[in-house]
Amino acid sequence: MAETIGLVQRLSILTDTVTCVWIGPTPDNTEVLLVSNDGSTTDASFANSMIHALASASTNYREVAAVHGDSDATVTSVRIEPI
Amino acid sequence: MATTSGYVQRLTLIQASDLACVWVGPSPSSTEILTVLMAAGDSEAVVRHKRSLINLLAEAQIARRQVEVQHPDDSAAIDQVSYAPPYGDAPVQVDAIEVTQGIQDLAHSVPLLAGKRTVVRVYLSHPASPGITVRGEIAVRSGPSDVPFVIQSENVAVLQPAEAGNLPIKREDVDRSLNFVLPSTQEGPLGIEIASITDTVTDLDVAFSGDYRPAVWFHASAPLRLRVVGFRYTQDGVAHVPTPLDFALLQSWLGRAFPAGTLFVTTTIADATAAVPFNCGSINAQLAAMRVLDMDAGGDERTHYYGLVSDGGFFMRGCAGVPSEPSPDAVGSGPTGPGTWGWDNDGSYGDWYGGHELGHTYGRRHPGFCGESMSDLDNYPFENGQLANDNNSFVGFDVGDPANGIAMRALPGTQWHDVMTYCSRQWLSAYTYLGIRRRLAAEDALGPDGVPGPAPGPGLEMAAFGGGRPDARFPHAARRGEAAEARPERGAAAAAPAEGADRVTVSVVATVNLTRPSGTIRHVTPLERRRPPKDVGEDAVLRVSGAGGEALGEFPVAVRLDSELMEGEDRKGIIDAIVAVDPAARLIELVVDGTAVDRYGIGGGVPRMKALRMESAAEGLRVAGEAEAAEGVTYAVQASSDDGASWQTLAIGLETPSAEIDRSQFAAGRTVRVRVIATNGLQRSIVMTDAFKT
């Protein structure tokens, strides 16, 4: 698994199942990742909370760690560390 | 049910199992791990409840507010979450904590910049009578394993019961908050917490509630690169020159108000070549000519140039170029002196006046509220050119400068105005602050040689595009590489391309009045480095001809209009062009609206310098040269303190090869060389002094 750490520079909610998030140290140096869900109520709600946390981190310039596959941009977990 | 209280120290959301893990406790090393699990069999109502729990926990973590989490005695599964009550029985309440570097709101919507002087303002209330006087300590750290760094408040604050909870009144008065100056900040996060509040009468710690621990992020910022030229002139036998205080306060004000964590500022004093009383257009033309000569001699292309003119003899109204795209070559100049303008009592008004003109050179236009042109009226977001529309949003804050005796000061957003207006009480609004920050970043990306993208560094060749860790990639590299291929190298005149290889690269600077039409060619300087044409446009034409009057080329050029033109005023500005002319050229004509309005003879033999010596002068040094008499020859003086790697122009357009040099511009003990360039506008010769210690 790979981990991308940085500020949430951009967040785009595209559909009810796909959201793109750009994470990196500066706006022009990011990795684009996906938050998706399988359409079920529980998975959609959980993805919604993940997006909420990413949005909150973005507006407050808080660093996040997003875990995803080595060759896969789909986020499997998000972590916000203490300061 | 059990209750776990504290801060959300860590939050992990695992989507594969729809599981949220939450570490709650008083510190990162003392936590309890709790969970919220969305199970497949949960009803919609339960799912919504759990989503709300997770969202509240995430908000609490980001805002660093205390929570109380309830869960069964034998389970870590969270049932309920609540923010800890903001106000308990403690005598002192924490209303808010604000981190400011010049302009800010309570949401911290203005990004903080690493390296910039920063003040943490803590707003406290004491609702019970009588009030108390307190001082305090905050602890800051950049990571959970850091030892907290404790900072004492700069002041004491009187907490009046009548002002309890009244944040606007506290934000607008520096004495109504406890203020803490952060040590030098680095890029990255910073957690802040109140360590103690002490009653100054009893010297006992006072309990406080409503505590939260904001975390802020310090961003890297592009430096502000500036050369300030103080222009000396003589009127009625008296020499006038900006004072050391004028230079110091301009630099200080830019450091306090402008969005840059680092300032690279150099200064010098030069004799104005225009006749007194000159205007800012003439000074800007001289400044532009000095700048282009500096850039030709190794200067950083991102450096802005600003001219300071003392108002001791006469008042020179300021003006500047206003480039719509990143163009550090836009120059500006303005007056300075001890006048207060009714509100500025620090001893020099050249600071904010310079901030206004420099703002233009970073593309900022007039909002249009106090008599200035309305060139940005539609975009400016606040009423009357103010920093804010009400006292609940942005408040300006001068972080102060102890070295120059400038005290910290709150600048109420409805009473202070944007620096790009002509209103009194000027500071940078968030709108202007962020606009200049964007322009500084865009200019920084040009690189020291004016090519877009960061300069290549060690390891660049190993970095790939589109892969690897974000901080290991260089997305500009491709663009930079393409641009570099098209870029002439410094000092590459000898390795010129085939076409036009014999042409001479010449800087032409002129002042122009497009309304009359009229104009004057001020400086024509051959450049050592071959450069592409600059400021091509359709406003005027430079017409080049030979000794027999034969046409050798026409160059359409742009006129950069002055920033401060009022409605009905003539459209004046400067031409700051670079053109490649035929070596047989003997005349450059300035053509405006089809009419040749000025002519400038060039070429006709290389001017020769015979000798050069340095002498002590009353207020510095004097470089004195001897040259063969020749018509149309002018002289420029440059100095280098890096063994000739780069040269800074100290004088230009001299009729004799002599000039006084301000010794204070050189750091003590530096090795300096001085050279004089003689030029006929097409060729030049150089004589250099021996190196000497300052």
> According to the model, what pLDDT value does residue B613 have?
86
> According to the model, what pLDDT value does residue B614 have?
84
Domain ranges, ordered by start, for chain A: 2-79
> According to the model, what pLDDT value does residue A78 have?
97
**Average confidence score pLDDT of chain B:** 90
Task: Examine residue B243 and state whether it is found in any structural domain, yes or no.
Answer: yes
Residues 6+ apart with CB under 8 A from B249: B346, B347, B348, B350, B351, B404, B406
From the list B18, B40, B191, the residue facing A83 with the nearest CB is B191
- Looking at the fold, whether B262 and B364 belong to one and the same domain comes out as yes
> According to the model, what pLDDT value does residue B35 have?
97
How distant is the Cα of B549 from the closest Cα of chain A, in angstroms?
54
Task: Examine residue B405 and state whether it is found in any structural domain, yes or no.
Answer: no
- Looking at the fold, whether B12 and B62 belong to one and the same domain comes out as yes
How many Cβ atoms sit within 10 Å of the Cβ of residue B128? Answer: 12
Class in CATH terms, A2-79: mainly beta
CATH value at residue B624: 2.60.40.10
Read off the pLDDT of each residue in B35-57 and give the average, rounded to a whole number: 95
> According to the model, what pLDDT value does residue B465 have?
31
| Residues of chain A contacting B215 with CB distance shorter than 8 Å | 60, 62, 83
Q: Which residue has the higher pLDDT, B562 or B605?
A: B562
- Taking the Cβ of residue B219 and every Cβ of chain A, the question of whether any pair is shorter than 8 Å is answered with yes
From the list B9, B141, B217, the residue facing A7 with the nearest CB is B217
| Residues of chain B contacting A58 with CB distance shorter than 8 Å | none
> According to the model, what pLDDT value does residue B616 have?
79
Read off the pLDDT of each residue in B380-385 and give the average, rounded to a whole number: 97
Its pTM stands at 0.89
pLDDT, one tens digit per residue, over B320-330 is: 999 999 999 99
| Residues of chain B contacting A25 with CB distance shorter than 8 Å | 470-471
- Looking at the fold, whether B322 and B439 belong to one and the same domain comes out as yes
Q: Which domain holds residue B678?
A: 609-693
Closest by alpha carbon to A19, among A7, A4, A8?
A: A8
Task: Examine residue B416 and state whether it is found in any structural domain, yes or no.
Answer: no
- Looking at the fold, whether B107 and B213 belong to one and the same domain comes out as yes
Q: Return the number of CB contacts < 8 Å for A and B.
A: 123
> According to the model, what pLDDT value does residue B690 have?
83
Q: Of the residues B53, B83, B113, which one is the last residue of a structural domain?
A: B83
> According to the model, what pLDDT value does residue B485 have?
44
pLDDT, one tens digit per residue, over A71-80 is: 999 999 999 9
Instruction: Assess whether pLDDT exceeds 80 at residue B511.
Output: yes
Interface of B with A in 474-533 (CB under 8 A): 475-476
| Residues of chain A contacting B48 with CB distance shorter than 8 Å | 45
From the list A7, A48, A80, the residue facing B61 with the nearest CB is A80
- Looking at the fold, whether B298 and B196 belong to one and the same domain comes out as no
Task: Examine residue B109 and state whether it is found in any structural domain, yes or no.
Answer: yes
Task: Examine residue B658 and state whether it is found in any structural domain, yes or no.
Answer: yes
Q: Do A62 and B476 touch (CB under 8 A)?
A: no
Q: Of the residues B569, B584, B601, which one is the last residue of a structural domain?
A: B601
Task: Give residue B294's pLDDT band: very low, low, confident or very high (50, 70, 90).
Answer: very high
- Looking at the fold, whether B253 and B343 belong to one and the same domain comes out as yes
Task: Give residue B440's pLDDT band: very low, low, confident or very high (50, 70, 90).
Answer: very high
pLDDT, one tens digit per residue, over B388-424 is: 999 889 999 999 999 999 999 999 999 999 999 999 9
- Looking at the fold, whether B153 and B177 belong to one and the same domain comes out as yes
- Looking at the fold, whether B368 and B248 belong to one and the same domain comes out as yes
Instruction: Assess whether pLDDT exceeds 80 at residue B379.
Output: yes
**Cα B401 to Cα A15: distance, rounded to the nearest angstrom:** 51
CA dihedral (A80, A58, A10, A39) in degrees, to 10, reads: 60
Helix A41-59 × helix B44-63 angle, to 10°? 20
Task: Give residue B468's pLDDT band: very low, low, confident or very high (50, 70, 90).
Answer: very low
From the list A24, A41, A57, the residue facing B62 with the nearest CB is A57
C-alpha separations of B542 from B519, B529, B590, B597 in Å: 12, 21, 5, 11
- Taking the Cβ of residue B12 and every Cβ of chain A, the question of whether any pair is shorter than 8 Å is answered with yes
Q: Do B15 and A53 touch (CB under 8 A)?
A: no
How distant is the Cα of A58 from the closest Cα of chain B, in angstroms?
10
- Looking at the fold, whether B143 and B192 belong to one and the same domain comes out as yes
Whose tokens are 């301009």? That residue is B250
Read off the pLDDT of each residue in B355-379 and give the average, rounded to a whole number: 95
Give the pair of three-digit tokens for residue B545: 């001809």
> According to the model, what pLDDT value does residue B501 have?
66
Task: Examine residue B338 and state whether it is found in any structural domain, yes or no.
Answer: yes
| Residues of chain B contacting A77 with CB distance shorter than 8 Å | 12-16
Read off the pLDDT of each residue in B451-462 and give the average, rounded to a whole number: 43
- The beta strands (E) that lie in B119-220 are given as 119-125, 132-141, 149-152, 157-159, 178-181, 188-199, 208-209, 215-219
Instruction: Assess whether pLDDT exceeds 50 at residue B52.
Output: yes
b/e burial code for range B506-516 (CB count within 10 A of at least 16 → b):
bbbbbbbbbee
From the list A41, A45, A80, the residue facing B11 with the nearest CB is A80
Task: Give residue B452's pLDDT band: very low, low, confident or very high (50, 70, 90).
Answer: low
B144 Rama class: left (phi>0) / alpha (psi -120 to 50) / beta: alpha
Whose tokens are 């509040």? That residue is B197
**Cα B67 to Cα B7: distance, rounded to the nearest angstrom:** 6
> According to the model, what pLDDT value does residue B567 have?
84
Amino acid identity of residue B82, one-letter, is S
Instruction: Assess whether pLDDT exceeds 70 at residue B26.
Output: yes
pLDDT, one tens digit per residue, over B528-568 is: 988 888 878 899 999 999 999 999 999 999 999 999 998 88
How distant is the Cα of B107 from the closest Cα of chain A, in angstroms?
8
- Looking at the fold, whether B350 and B280 belong to one and the same domain comes out as yes
> According to the model, what pLDDT value does residue B319 have?
97
**Cα B627 to Cα B341: distance, rounded to the nearest angstrom:** 48
Task: Examine residue B397 and state whether it is found in any structural domain, yes or no.
Answer: no
- Looking at the fold, whether B512 and B629 belong to one and the same domain comes out as no
How distant is the Cα of B65 from the closest Cα of chain A, in angstroms?
13
Q: Which residue has the higher pLDDT, B487 or B150?
A: B150
8 Å CB contact between B95 and B78: no
Q: Do B470 and A82 touch (CB under 8 A)?
A: no
CA B404 remoteness from chain centre = 19
Specify the number of domains making up chain B. Answer: 5
Amino acid identity of residue B632, one-letter, is G
- Looking at the fold, whether B437 and B302 belong to one and the same domain comes out as yes
Interface of A with B in 11-70 (CB under 8 A): 23-26, 28-31, 35, 37, 40-43, 45-50, 52-53, 56-57, 60-63
**Cα B75 to Cα B20: distance, rounded to the nearest angstrom:** 14
Task: Give residue B499's pLDDT band: very low, low, confident or very high (50, 70, 90).
Answer: low
Q: Model ipTM?
A: 0.93
Instruction: Assess whether pLDDT exceeds 60 at residue B466.
Output: no
- Taking the Cβ of residue B670 and every Cβ of chain A, the question of whether any pair is shorter than 8 Å is answered with no
Question: Percentage of chain B surpassing pLDDT 70?
Answer: 92
Task: Examine residue B314 and state whether it is found in any structural domain, yes or no.
Answer: yes
Read off the pLDDT of each residue in B665-677 and give the average, rounded to a whole number: 88
